[in-house]
C-alpha cells in the first residue's frame, strides 16, 4: 500500500534524567513534619486545617506550618531548615 | 526536596489535576513521587469544608486522605523507585499513513490541530516554506512550555516551518513566526484562568506581507492576520509538547481568542504617537512582534462628556495583577491628544493615578497571590500596597503594565480595553529577548 508521508510537527522533548526519592520513614510518631503552604489561593487555609487534624488526632507528631514563598522558584533556605529540623514534609495545595 | 535534601515529601493536589500530576512527575524523572489528592475546588472553599477534605477520602486513590498521607511517607519504597527513571521520547522526523484522509485523522487524534482544516506538511511544502528565511532548517529557534513548572521543549527553524504550513501560511510569513518562536511565548498557555494572546506586528514587515491595520483589523478580513495568529497557536501546541485538556491544557473554560491569538498590525501611519515597538527600543524602520497574554476585553466608544468616570469604572473592574492593553482606533487616539495626552506614557500615568481601588479589594484577587513573593521580599510599590490601610486607594496598574496600541480604519471612534499585557520576564521561556522581538533577524 502506498504511504502518505509528512513531517512531524512536534518539537523536541528534553531527555528525562532520573530524580531520586528519599526513603520512607518507619513511623511518623515522635517525628516532626513540616506543613508547607505553597501560596496558591486558599492553600493557607487548607494547611491550617491539616495542622488542626494533627493536633486533634496525632499529637505525638510535631508539626509546623511554613510558607514556601515564590511557588515558581526554589527555596533552598527553607529546604535546608526542613532538613535540619524536620523528618518529613507535606506540601500543598498545588496543581 | 526529595532528591536534593533527602526529605520524604508528599505533595497535595486537586483531584482534577491527577492526569497533569502523573504526566509532570514522570517528566521530572520521579514517576513514583509521593502524591495525594483532595476534591476540587480549593479556592473560595470555607475552612469547615477544607477540614472535610482532610478527614474524607482521597478521591483519586479511594482511601481516607490521611491514611494515604501516612502510607506515602512510611511505605517501604523499592530501590528502583528510589532511584527514579531515565526516560527519552522519540519524535520521528516523518509520520506515515496509508492515505491523505488517514493522515488528517491521525493529526486530529494526536491533537496536532485546532480542529479546523489544516494543510498537511509534506516535505515539498515545508521546503517551500523554508524559502521564507535565510536561516538553516536545523538552527535552533527557542523553547517553550504550556506553563511555568512544566518541562521546556525546543524547536528549530524547520519545526516552525512545518507548523506554518499546517496553518496555511506563505513563506513571507515565516520570519514573523520565527521571531515569535524565539520569544518563547506560548499561544496555548495552560493556566486555569483560560488566557488567550494578542500578537502585535510593527514596522515595514506589516506592508511587505500585507497585514491589516485598518477596517476590521481584529477580525477575519486579512490573509496574513488570519494565518499568522492561527499558526502561532498551532505551533505552540505542537512545539511545547501538547495542549491536551486535562494534561497539558487546564484552562477551565478555554479561550475563543486562541483560534487566532488576536493578531494584527499597529496602524502606525494613523497613530499620533510612537509605534509600540519604538517604545520598546526598536527603530521605526525595523520590524518587530510583541506577544501579550489576554483574558478578555471591554468595548467602548469615544471620550464623551463623562469619559474619565467611565474609564476609571472600566479599569477598576479588571484584575490588577494582569495589566491592561488599550487598543484604540486612530479617531480615539487623536481624541486623547486633543485632551492633552501627547504620549502613550501620559495616558498610562493618568490611568495609574486615577484608576484606584481600596487596599482590601486590591489584594482580594487570585492573580495577586502569584506576586505575593514581591511583598515578602519588601519590593516596592507592592510592599507598601500590602502595608496600606484597608480603605487606602491603590493603583490598579503600574505604568509599565499599561500598553497602548493604535489600530482600526476610522469608521468610528471605538476602542477596546483588554485585560492583559506581555508576560513578566520571570514567567517567559527566555530572558534573552522580548517580549518585543526582532522580525528582521529572521529574514
- Both B56 and B172 in a single domain? no
**What pLDDT is recorded for position A41?**
80
Tell me the percentage of chain B whose pLDDT exceeds 90. Answer: 86
Cell of B213: 491595520
Does B178 or B367 have the greater pLDDT score? Answer: B178
Residues B77 and B141 placed together within one structural domain of the fold: no
Query: Using CA atoms in the order B252, B363, A51, B32, what is the torsion angle rounded to 10 degrees?
Result: 40
Helical H runs in B115-199?
Answer: 123-129, 157-167, 174-183
Domain boundary among B83, B114, B140: B83
> Is there a domain that residue B396 lies in?
no
Among A20, A48, A69, whose Cβ lies nearest the Cβ of B3?
Answer: A20
Which residues, in sequence order, are CB contacts of B366 under 8 Å at separation 6+? A41, B43, B193, B319
Query: Distance (Å) from the C-alpha of residue B106 to the closest C-alpha of chain A?
Result: 11
Q: What is the largest CA-CA distance in chain A?
A: 71
What's the grid cell of residue B128?
517551500
Residue B213 lies in a domain: yes
Question: Scanning every residue of chain A, which has its alpha carbon at the shortest distance from the alpha carbon of B155?
Answer: A11
User: Per-residue pLDDT averaged across A14-25, rounded?
Assistant: 93
> Does residue B23 surpass a pLDDT of 90?
no
> For residue B388, which of B365, B369, B361 has the smallest C-alpha distance?
B361
Contacts with B72 from chain A: Cβ below 8 Å: 24
| Chain A residues touching B85 at Cβ < 8 A | 16, 18
The dihedral sign for the CA sequence B117, B123, B126, B128: negative
> Under a CB-based contact definition with an 8 Å cutoff, are residues B158 and B130 in contact?
yes
Distance from CA of B160 to the nearest CA of A (A): 8
Count CB atoms within 10 A of the CB of residue A74. Answer: 12
CB within 8 Å: A23 and B8: yes
Condensed to tens digits (0 to 9), the pLDDT of residues B39-90 reads: 999 988 999 999 999 999 999 999 999 999 999 999 999 998 889 989 888 8
Question: Residue B374: its pLDDT value, please?
Answer: 81
Cβ within 8 Å, pair A18-B84: yes
The pLDDT of residue B365 is 80
What is residue B10's DSSP assignment? E
Measure the CA angle with vertex B100, ends B94 and B106; round to 5°. Answer: 65
Contact A5 B7 (CB under 8 A): no
Half-sphere exposure of B330 (CA within 13 A, CB side): 18
Q: Which residues of A touch B112 (CB under 8 A)?
A: 9-10
* Chain B residues closer than 8 Å to A22 by CB: 1-3, 5-9
Strand B288-301 and strand B263-265: the pairing is unpaired
pTM here is 0.93
Residue B48 and residue B9 share a domain: yes
Domain assignment of residue B10, yes or no: yes
- pLDDT average, residue stretch B147-160: 94
Structural domain harbouring B432? 100-299+424-442
Of A61, A42, A66, A64, the residue nearest B49 (C-alpha): A42
B25, B54, B193: best to mutate for the A interface, most A CBs within 10 A: B54
Q: Which whole number is the average pLDDT over B320-340?
A: 96
B151 plus B214 within the same structural domain: yes
Do residue B122 and residue A5 have CB atoms under 8 angstroms apart? Answer: yes
pLDDT by residue (tens digit) across A36-60?
999 888 899 999 999 999 999 999 9
Using CA atoms, how far apart are residues B196 and B190, in angstroms rounded to an integer? Answer: 10
Q: Are B242 and B438 in contact (CB under 8 A)?
A: no
Residues paired with B87 in a beta bridge? A16
pLDDT of residue B377: 83
* Other CB atoms within 10 Å distance of the CB of residue B335: 19
Across residues B276-280, what is the average pLDDT?
Answer: 96
B272 neighbors B334 (Cβ within 8 angstroms): yes
- pLDDT grade, residue A95 (50/70/90)? low
Task: Please state, rounded to an integer, the average pLDDT across all residues of chain B.
Answer: 94
* The predicted structure's pLDDT at residue B427: 67
- Tell me how far apart the alpha carbons of residues B225 and B219 are, in angstroms, rounded to a whole number: 8
Domain assignment present for residue B331? The answer is no
- The beta strands (E) that lie in B150-265 are given as 153-156, 196-202, 263-265
DSSP state of B319: -
User: Which of A2, A5, A7, A92 to mutate against chain B (most B CBs within 10 Å)?
Assistant: A7
Quick one: B118 and B228 in the same domain?
Answer: yes
Whether the pLDDT of residue B149 is over 90: the answer is no
Position B107 scores a pLDDT of 98
Q: Does B87 sit within 8 Å of A28, measured CB to CB? A: no
CB contact under 8 A, B238 and A9: yes
B369 within domain boundaries: no
Residue B27 has pLDDT above 90, yes or no: no
In a domain, B257, yes or no: yes
Q: Are residues B68 and B112 in the same domain?
A: no
Same domain, B58 and B128: no
| pLDDT score at B369 | 66
How sure is the predictor about B375, in pLDDT bands with cuts at 50, 70 and 90? confident
Same-domain pairing of B214 and B108? yes
**Are B170 and B222 a contacting pair, CB within 8 Å?**
no
pLDDT of residue B338: 97
Task: Give B-chain residues touching A17 at CB under 8 angstroms.
Answer: 29, 84, 86
Q: What's the pLDDT score for residue A72?
A: 74
- A28 to B373: CB separation less than 8 angstroms, yes or no: no
Tens digits of residue pLDDT in B223-232? 999 999 999 9
Count of domains observed in chain B: 2
Are residues B107 and B79 located together in one domain of the fold? no
Which cell numbers hold the place of B84? Answer: 527514579
Tell me the count of A-B CB pairs closer than 8 A.
256
Verify whether the Cβ–Cβ distance B83 to A20 is below 8 Å.
yes
Within a domain: B131 = yes
pLDDT band at residue A2, thresholds of 50, 70 and 90?
low
pLDDT of residue B57: 97
Same domain, B104 and B74: no
Residue that has been written with the C-alpha cell 521561556 in this structure: B429
Residues B111 and B64 in one domain: no
Percent of chain B's residues with pLDDT above 70: 98
Tell me the nearest-neighbour CA distance from A23 into chain B, angstroms: 7
CB contact under 8 A, A16 and B38: no
Does B151 sit within 8 Å of A4, measured CB to CB?
no
Structural domain includes residue B359: no
DSSP H or E segment with residue A62: strand A62-67
B210 min Cα distance to partner chain A (Å): 26
DSSP B196: E
B250 and B137 both lie in a single domain: yes
Amino acid at each position: 500500500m502506498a504511504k502518505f508521508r509528512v513531517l512531524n510537527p512536534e518539537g523536541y522533548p528534553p531527555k528525562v534524567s532520573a530524580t531520586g526519592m528519599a526513603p520512607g520513614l518507619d513511623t511518623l510518631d515522635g517525628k516532626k513534619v513540616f506543613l508547607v503552604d505553597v501560596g496558591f489561593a486558599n492553600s493557607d487555609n487548607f494547611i491550617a486545617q491539616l495542622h488542626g487534624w494533627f493536633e486533634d488526632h496525632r499529637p505525638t507528631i510535631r508539626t509546623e506550618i511554613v510558607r514556601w514563598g515564590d511557588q515558581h522558584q526554589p527555596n533552598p533556605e527553607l529546604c535546608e531548615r526542613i532538613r535540619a529540623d524536620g523528618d518529613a514534609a507535606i506540601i500543598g495545595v498545588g496543581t | 526536596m526529595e532528591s536534593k535534601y533527602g526529605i520524604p515529601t508528599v505533595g497535595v493536589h486537586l483531584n482534577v489535576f491527577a492526569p497533569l500530576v502523573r504526566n509532570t512527575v514522570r517528566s521530572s524523572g520521579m514517576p513514583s513521587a509521593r502524591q495525594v489528592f483532595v476534591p476540587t475546588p480549593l479556592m473560595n472553599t470555607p475552612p469547615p469544608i477544607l477540614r472535610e477534605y482532610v478527614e474524607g477520602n482521597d478521591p483519586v486513590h479511594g482511601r481516607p486522605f490521611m491514611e494515604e498521607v501516612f502510607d506515602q511517607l512510611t511505605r517501604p519504597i523499592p530501590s528502583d523507585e528510589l532511584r527514579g527513571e531515565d526516560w527519552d521520547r522519540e519524535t520521528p522526523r516523518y509520520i506515515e499513513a496509508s492515505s491523505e484522509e488517514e493522515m488528517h485523522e491521525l493529526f486530529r487524534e494526536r491533537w496536532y490541530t485546532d480542529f479546523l482544516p489544516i494543510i498537511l506538511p509534506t516535505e515539498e511544502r515545508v521546503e517551500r516554506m523554508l524559502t521564507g528565511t535565510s536561516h538553516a532548517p536545523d538552527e535552533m529557534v527557542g523553547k517553550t512550555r504550556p506553563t511555568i513548572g512544566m518541562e521546556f521543549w525546543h524547536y528549530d527553524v524547520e519545526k516552525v516551518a512545518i507548523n506554518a504550513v499546517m496553518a496555511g501560511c506563505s513563506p513571507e510569513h515565516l520570519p514573523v513566526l520565527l521571531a515569535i518562536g524565539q520569544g518563547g511565548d506560548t499561544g496555548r498557555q495552560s493556566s486555569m484562568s483560560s488566557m488567550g494572546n494578542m500578537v502585535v506586528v510593527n514596522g515595514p514587515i506589516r506592508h511587505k506581507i500585507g497585514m491589516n491595520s485598518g477596517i476590521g483589523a481584529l477580525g477575519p478580513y486579512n490573509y496574513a492576520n488570519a494565518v499568522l495568529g492561527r499558526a502561532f497557536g498551532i505551533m505552540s501546541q505542537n512545539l511545547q509538547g501538547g495542549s491536551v485538556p486535562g494534561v497539558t491544557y487546564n484552562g477551565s473554560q478555554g479561550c475563543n481568542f486562541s483560534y487566532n491569538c488576536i493578531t494584527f498590525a499597529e496602524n502606525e501611519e494613523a497613530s499620533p504617537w510612537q509605534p509600540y515597538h519604538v517604545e520598546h527600543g526598536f527603530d521605526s524602520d525595523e520590524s518587530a512582534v510583541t506577544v501579550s497574554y489576554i483574558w478578555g476585553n471591554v468595548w467602548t466608544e469615544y471620550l464623551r462628556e463623562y469619559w474619565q468616570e467611565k474609564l476609571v469604572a472600566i479599569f477598576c473592574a479588571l484584575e490588577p495583577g494582569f495589566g491592561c492593553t488599550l487598543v484604540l482606533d486612530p479617531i480615539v487616539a487623536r481624541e486623547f491628544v486633543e485632551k492633552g495626552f501627547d504620549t502613550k506614557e501620559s495616558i498610562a500615568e493618568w490611568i495609574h493615578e486615577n484608576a484606584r481601588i481600596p487596599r482590601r479589594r486590591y489584594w482580594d484577587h487570585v492573580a495577586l497571590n502569584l506576586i505575593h513573593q514581591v511583598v515578602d521580599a519588601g519590593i516596592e510599590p507592592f510592599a507598601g500596597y500590602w502595608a496600606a490601610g484597608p480603605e487606602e486607594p491603590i493603583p490598579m496598574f503600574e505604568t509599565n503594565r499599561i500598553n497602548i496600541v493604535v489600530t482600526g480604519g476610522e469608521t468610528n471612534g471605538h476602542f477596546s480595553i483588554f485585560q492583559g499585557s506581555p508576560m513578566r520576564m520571570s514567567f517567559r521561556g527566555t530572558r534573552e529577548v522580548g517580549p518585543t522581538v526582532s522580525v528582521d533577524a529572521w529574514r
